[in-house]
Amino acid sequence: MSAICGIVSLDGRCDLTSPLEAMVLRCRHRVVDEVFYHYQDGMGLACLSRDSASDGTGECFPETFLEGQWVFAADARLDNRGACLAWQPSGFAADDKVSDSRLMFGSLLQDPQQGPGKLIGDFAYALWDARLRTLRLARDTMGMRSLYYRVEPRRILFATELSQILAVEGVPRRLNRQAMAWHLADQQTPPGCTFFEGVEEVLPGEEVEIDGRGRVRRRVIWKPDPTHRLHYRDSREYAEHFRSLLVEAVRCRCRVASPAAIALSGGLDSGSVASIAGWLAEQGQDVPALRAYSWAFTDHPECDERENIYRIAKRFSIPVNEIPAEQTYPLMDMAAYAPDEDGPFNLIYQGFVDRVLQGAAADGCRSVWFGYRGDVVVGGAIHDVSGLVREGRWREARHELASLRRGHGLSRTQGLLRFGIRQVFDDALYFLTRPARRAPLSDSFLSAYSPRDRLPPFVTPDLALDCGLPDSDPLVADANAWSLASQRERYRQIFSPLVMSVMRHAERHCASHGLDKADPWSDRRLAAFVLACPQHQVNRFGQPKRIARQAIRGIMPDEALLHCRKVVPSPLYEHAIRHLVHDSVLGLLTDSRCAALGFVDEAHFRERFQRHCRGDLQDVDFWSTLSLELWLRRWWP
């Protein structure tokens, strides 16, 4: 994946070359084809280009127009090239063979206000207006590319990775304690809250404009429309519409060099992507040859999905590279868990992801596909009994309510109150509570969206107060634009800070292996569609990922679709921390940096951890503390 960075001198006297070269050098872990520089009139720009496209349209290069009056750079994959080609301004050289970056540039020049919202794909861009001496920075709404910036009295710095800005001489490295507290609250650090004071993040779906005086203006360029509703006659029409969008999302990501890698499980998310790619190839479309990389469990057979993996792989002639799960136990290979300087976020199963990326790079792949966002787009514990009642589907409502009650071990009365009356009542009262700026009734029960409630029990007293953690996650307020409780919960899942962190983390690690990351489930058109649907069409307790299962029927092999299930490899984690890395975990929380900074009570952590390892299973998050400690030891020794 490509990267961009740049500097703007506000007084015309700042050195441009040294800071820009420092930012490029700090990105040396990313595998790139070539680095391009552009300097003019107090502005410097660098593009670290890695073109994974099969047709050469993925190059990242400084673009100019009208003899440098406009300068542009983007790390991007553009999915609506045809539409953008029709939006080019007169005199701007562009055709169907130019790069995605060039087409984006023309679209923004043609319509500076509406143009950014028309771009569909994964992108981060910088646009410099030399006449007005104004810099515009923006990211895609799904958060698939990153972009950071820092405004100083004499200069503006911006870069794909936060650490690039820290590499510039004169930039202080000051920890943001609030961000660390957010991280301890279940790794739900919201976008825009960076781990270093003075360095800002362009939010997903936002454009930031910085003028020649260093003044900053921010605006939203696109977000799903909460007033948009879809009402079809039956579930088949919803499934057909969803199928067309998912197929298009996969097709758009097929414009990559062959072969392409896919992290393939036996579940619906990655299985759908692999099946659609194979199906498109059978239709004669230009699709890269796929290579699958999959977990193979021996010691924990309850987690093994190879039988279903091979149902898909054999149907579409996809070679499978098995990765022994027992070689990827969490924290066994500490090199795989080396944190980025940007922040402490890390995946529990990063050992497996690293093996996938290593294998893909060794096999000559230039891109790797994931199904990361499938669970939050069409799955999750989102129930819409209220929607079934509103549509007069009483029999289905009773069946869903009964399934929920039995699945949660509740009495009839408890089930009716929890999953029926409360949601129906909340939806009915929404239009009364919203004008009064009161949270909807269901949101008052959302402890999962209170960062203070999510903090583990072994953090120090008053940590939330000392670090300024709010009572409620900003995401809850954003979701209140949706009138129905089930839609609000879907929005919170799709755009959760944890999901955004996964996307950012995966992009970094893919880039370090020279791989482009693609996740068809992170297509904004899918998100907009799902949020406009009645949620009982999307997912039901007794029919998980209902709409996706209906949509993929006839594409995924029937036997594979029948056996798709959600497997959580928690036995791998539990076995590792109890037996294999037990002493290492205790060592991390002995004379720890977390304790020295006043975040964690070490004795309480060790007591809780030992109880957990003895079998007193508690709903306690140890991982956020361990990942923060690893980061502090690496970057703040």
Q: At which residue do the structure tokens 């939806």 appear?
A: 427
End-to-end Cα, the chain, rounded Å: 30
More reliable by pLDDT, 326 or 445: 326
217 pLDDT above the threshold of 70: yes
Q: Give the residue extent of every domain in the chain.
A: 3-220, 235-378+496-570
> How many CA atoms within 13 Å lie on the side-chain side of 197?
7
Pick the more confident residue, 11 or 620. 11
β-partners of residue 320 are: 292
pLDDT at residue 334 in the model: 83
Please state, rounded to an integer, the average pLDDT across all residues of the chain: 93
Given 3-state DSSP classes, what are the helix, strand and coil percentages for the chain, each rounded to the nearest 5? Answer: 45, 15, 40
Q: Is the pLDDT of residue 441 over 80?
A: no
Q: Percent of the chain having pLDDT more than 90?
A: 81
Written as one letter, the residue type at 164 is Q
Supply 173's token pair: 């490295």
C-alpha span between 342 and 623 (Å, rounded):
18
372-410 pLDDT, tens per residue?
A: 999 999 999 899 999 999 899 999 999 999 999 998 899
Give residue-wise pLDDT tens across range 243-257.
Answer: 999 999 999 999 999
DSSP classification of residue 485 = H
* Cα–Cα distance for residue pair 83/69, rounded to 1 Å: 25
What was the pLDDT predicted at 93?
A: 84
Structure confidence at residue 443 as a pLDDT band (50, 70, 90): low
pLDDT in tens, 12-56: 889 999 999 999 999 999 999 999 999 999 999 999 999 999 999
Question: How far apart, in whole angstroms, are the C-alpha atoms of residue 426 and residue 420?
Answer: 10
Q: How confident is the model at residue 442 (pLDDT cuts 50, 70, 90)?
A: low
Q: pLDDT for 153-194, tens place per residue?
A: 999 999 999 999 999 999 999 999 999 999 999 999 999 999
Q: What is the mean pLDDT of residues 515-523?
A: 97
Supply the DSSP string of 28-56, one letter for each residue: TTS--SEEEEEEETTEEEEEEE----TTS
> Does residue 258 surpass a pLDDT of 80?
yes
Residue 69, pLDDT > 60, answer yes
> d(Cα 305, Cα 323) in Å, to the nearest integer?
12
CA–CA dist 372, 227 (Å, integer): 27
Fold of 3-220: Glutamine Phosphoribosylpyrophosphate, subunit 1, domain 1 (3.60.20)
At residue 616, the pLDDT reads: 82
Residue 215 has pLDDT above 60, yes or no: yes
pLDDT score recorded for residue 437: 43
Q: Which runs of consecutive H residues, i.e. helices, occur in 283-419?
A: 306-315, 350-362, 374-378, 385-390, 394-407, 412-415
- Look at residue 432 in the predicted model and tell me its pLDDT: 63
Which residues, at least 6 apart from 494, have a Cβ–Cβ distance to it below 8 Å? 373, 376, 377, 527, 530, 531
Topology adopted by domain 235-378+496-570: Rossmann fold (3.40.50)
Regarding beta strands 155-159 and 3-9, do their DSSP bridges make them parallel or antiparallel, or are they unpaired? antiparallel
| Dist CA 539 CA 542 (whole Å) | 9
Q: Which two tokens stand for residue 391?
A: 């549509």
Instruction: Tell me the per-residue pLDDT of 485-502, one tens digit each, with 9 for 90 and over.
Output: 899 999 999 999 999 999
16: left (phi over 0), alpha (psi -120 to 50) or beta: alpha
Q: In whole angstroms, what is the distance from residue 151 CA to residue 153 CA?
A: 7
Burial class (CB in 10 A: 0-12, 13-18, 19+), 222: buried
Dist CA 207 CA 229 (whole Å): 27
Q: Residue 285 and residue 266: Cα distance in Å, rounded?
A: 25
Residue 604 neighbours by CB under 8 Å, 6+ apart? 457, 458
Considering only the C-alpha atoms of the chain, give the largest distance between any 2 of them, rounded to a whole number of Å: 74
Length of the chain: 637
Q: Measured between alpha carbons, how far is residue 331 from residues 327, 348, 630 in Å?
A: 11, 8, 10
Task: Return all residues near 571 (Cβ < 8 A) that are at least 6 apart.
Answer: 300, 302, 303
Query: pLDDT digit string (tens) for 192-210?
Result: 999 999 999 999 999 999 9
Q: What is the pLDDT, as a whole number, of residue 501? A: 96
